[in-house]
Amino acid sequence: MSCSMRSPTPTSSLAPLRIIRAWLELFLGPGPIQGAYTRAFRELRLRFDLTVPSDVRTVADPKQWFSSLDAEMLSALGGLSDADFEKTIPRGSHNISLGTMFRTFNCLRQSQRVFSRDW
């Protein structure tokens, strides 16, 4: 009785890589969103054109990146006055307003809760 071992097909050998890539996109996805909102609090314009750094290679890289995003967010929010929260932030190139900065901050807060484990 002979048993033949088939070599993995290109599709099956790439499946784990696709799973890892999908997981990374889900895990790293909130970063550009937080970066866009941080920039909006400084520049008063919300644009979603930031991307995940291409040099993410180890587990320490995203940790460092998210820590720097958190520090930038705290710095941006710390520089705002109460009057600043009443300013309007346009979104994108179409000048569509999301409302006041306070409302924009609440949108960010709600989006972060989706990815938070501390509901």
Task: Residue 68: give the domain boundaries.
Answer: 31-48+57-119
Question: Is 17 a residue whose pLDDT tops 50?
Answer: yes
> What does the pLDDT read at residue 75?
93
User: Does residue 78 form part of some domain?
Assistant: yes
Over the stretch 26-83, which tens digit does the pLDDT of each residue have?
Answer: 788 888 888 988 998 888 888 888 888 888 777 788 889 889 999 998 999 898 888 8
Residue 113 lies in a domain: yes
Count of domains for the chain: 1
Q: Is residue 62 domain-resident? A: yes
Close Cβ partners of 51 (under 8 Å, ≥ 6 residues apart): 32
pLDDT at 1 over 60: no
Threshold 0.85, pTM exceeds: no
Q: Report if residue 24 sits inside a domain.
A: no
Residue 119: inside a domain: yes
Tokens of 31: 């970063």
Looking at residue 72, its pLDDT comes to 93
Give me the amino acid identity at 86: E
Confidence of residue 119 (pLDDT cuts 50, 70, 90): very low
Note the pLDDT tens digit of each residue in 80-109.
888 887 888 777 666 556 577 777 777 777
Lookup: tokens for 96: 């569509």
Domain presence at residue 17: no
Specify if 86 maps to a domain: yes
Residue 66 in domain: yes
Residues 68 and 62: their CA atoms lie apart, in Å, by: 10
Task: Report angle CA 104, 37, 91 to the nearest 5 degrees.
Answer: 65
